[in-house]
């Protein structure tokens, strides 16, 4: 999802879309692929860290893993962007405008480095491979359909509001739901591990300023980034929920932050359930796995 005031975020979105759309096997093949560029073999097997500065002097950070899991993370700080990622092999400080020009082939990383517009720390030669890598992923993106609303939320910045289909204004619990998608959507191994433990489909009904809003969490083995989280009811998404959890938006946020437990919420009448109430305990383990500061709309 485009990040406000950063035109080059579209490049990162493109990388994320391709990596999310590829199967685990194809992603592994892609990040290990050896290609012949300018009569020189190279392997796109590296972790790139970007510090992008826009025209107003604001910075945003991205880490692109083309070495192990094949995923993209971002954040308002370098530490936030690097969370859960391998150590970068190269760090590139670049302006928003220059990043766009390099991606469009209007200039080169080498030329901009020599002029001082691009600063590189780490493996210098990896910086010279930036253009062919971007070109490669651009061509892959052109062969894929656009991301679905759910998959698009994976692209969303952790410091920005994800797609409106997932996030609903006035419902802070929807940010928790989007956080689940960000945490597990682009990491196949991490997602499958939590899915095997949970093995359930949930419908979450949150009572907020506009009444009940619903989301489906498809936490069954085999779920992909595109159907892990879905706005609407289970019936609308042609799914069968093992449990429907009904609670206020505020209580769901408290449940996610650890201020409230599923058992105490149920016993205190704050949580109502249709289906297997014991599944609520499994959902708690998912929420604990993404536990962190809960943002507010």
- Is 178 exposed, middle or buried, given 0-12, 13-18 or 19+ CB atoms closer than 10 A? buried
183, 286 Cβ separation under 8 angstroms? no
Instruction: Report d(CA 173, CA 178) in Å as an integer.
Output: 9
C-alpha 42 chain-centroid distance = 28
With a pLDDT cut of 90, the percent of the chain lying above it is: 26
Tokens 């929420």 locate to 287
Give the residue among 221, 245, 226 at the shortest CA–CA distance from 234.
245
- Is 233 exposed, middle or buried, given 0-12, 13-18 or 19+ CB atoms closer than 10 A? middle
Both structure tokens of 216 = 């489906």
Give the residue among 28, 51, 31 at the shortest CA–CA distance from 136.
31
Where is average pLDDT lowest: 84-93, 129-138, 158-167?
158-167
Each residue's pLDDT tens digit, 227-248 = 899 999 999 888 999 999 999 9
Each residue's pLDDT tens digit, 144-162 = 655 544 444 444 433 333 3
Average pLDDT across the chain, whole number: 80
Query: Greater confidence, 98 or 136?
Result: 98
90, 123 Cβ separation under 8 angstroms? yes
Per DSSP, the three-state class of 59 is strand
Q: How many CB atoms lie within 10 A of CB 101?
A: 17
* Helix H or strand E segment including 295: none
Each residue's pLDDT tens digit, 4-30 = 678 888 888 877 777 766 666 666 666
Both structure tokens of 251 = 């209580």
Compute CA distances 181 → 74, 105, 125, 228, 267, whole Å: 15, 33, 34, 7, 29
pLDDT mean over 237-262: 91
The pLDDT confidence band at residue 103, using thresholds 50, 70 and 90, is: confident
Instruction: Report d(CA 238, CA 241) in Å as an integer.
Output: 10
Q: What is the pLDDT of residue 22?
A: 64
pLDDT mean over 248-271: 89
Residues 6+ apart with CB under 8 A from 4: 160
Q: What is the pLDDT of residue 33?
A: 56
Both structure tokens of 116 = 């001082």
206, 248 Cβ separation under 8 angstroms? yes
Cα torsion 88, 95, 143, 155: sign? positive
131, 108 Cβ separation under 8 angstroms? yes
Where is average pLDDT lowest: 129-133, 150-154, 210-214?
150-154
The pLDDT confidence band at residue 37, using thresholds 50, 70 and 90, is: very low
166, 215 Cβ separation under 8 angstroms? yes
Each residue's pLDDT tens digit, 41-93 = 444 578 999 999 998 899 999 998 888 777 888 888 888 888 878 899 999 99
Q: What is the pLDDT of residue 146?
A: 58
pLDDT(39) > 50: no
- Is 104 exposed, middle or buried, given 0-12, 13-18 or 19+ CB atoms closer than 10 A? exposed
Q: What is the pLDDT of residue 65?
A: 87
pLDDT mean over 190-198: 88
With a pLDDT cut of 70, the percent of the chain lying above it is: 80
Strand runs labelled E in the chain: 34-37, 40-43, 46-53, 59-66, 71-75, 90-95, 118-122, 200-208, 211-219, 229-231, 243-248, 272-275
């Amino acid at each position: 999802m485009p990040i406000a005031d950063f035109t080059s975020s579209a490049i990162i979105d493109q990388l994320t879309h391709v990596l999310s759309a590829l199967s685990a096997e194809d992603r592994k093949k892609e990040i290990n692929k050896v290609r012949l560029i300018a009569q020189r073999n190279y392997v796109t097997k590296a972790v790139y860290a970007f510090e992008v500065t826009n025209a107003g002097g604001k910075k945003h950070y991205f880490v692109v893993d083309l070495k192990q899991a094949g995923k993209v993370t971002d954040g308002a700080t370098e530490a936030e962007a690097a969370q859960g990622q391998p150590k970068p092999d190269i760090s590139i400080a670049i302006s928003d405008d220059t990043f766009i020009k390099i991606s469009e082939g209007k200039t080169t990383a080498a030329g901009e480095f020599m002029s001082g517009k691009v600063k590189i720390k780490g493996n210098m030669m990896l910086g010279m491979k930036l253009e062919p890598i971007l070109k490669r992923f651009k061509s892959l993106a052109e062969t894929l359909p656009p991301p679905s609303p759910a998959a698009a939320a994976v692209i969303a910045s952790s410091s920005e509001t994800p797609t409106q289909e997932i996030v609903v204004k006035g419902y802070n619990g929807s940010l928790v739901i989007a956080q689940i998608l960000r945490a597990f959507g682009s990491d196949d191994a991490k997602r499958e591990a939590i899915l095997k433990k949970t093995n359930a489909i949930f419908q979450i009904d949150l009572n907020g300023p506009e009444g009940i809003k619903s989301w489906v969490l498809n936490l069954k083995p085999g779920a992909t980034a595109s159907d892990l989280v879905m706005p609407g009811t289970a019936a609308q998404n042609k799914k069968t929920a093992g449990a429907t959890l009904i609670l206020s938006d505020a209580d769901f946020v408290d449940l996610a932050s650890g201020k409230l437990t599923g058992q105490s919420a149920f016993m205190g009448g704050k949580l109502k359930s249709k289906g297997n109430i014991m599944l609520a305990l499994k959902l708690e383990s998912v929420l604990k796995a993404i536990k962190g500061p809960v943002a507010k709309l």
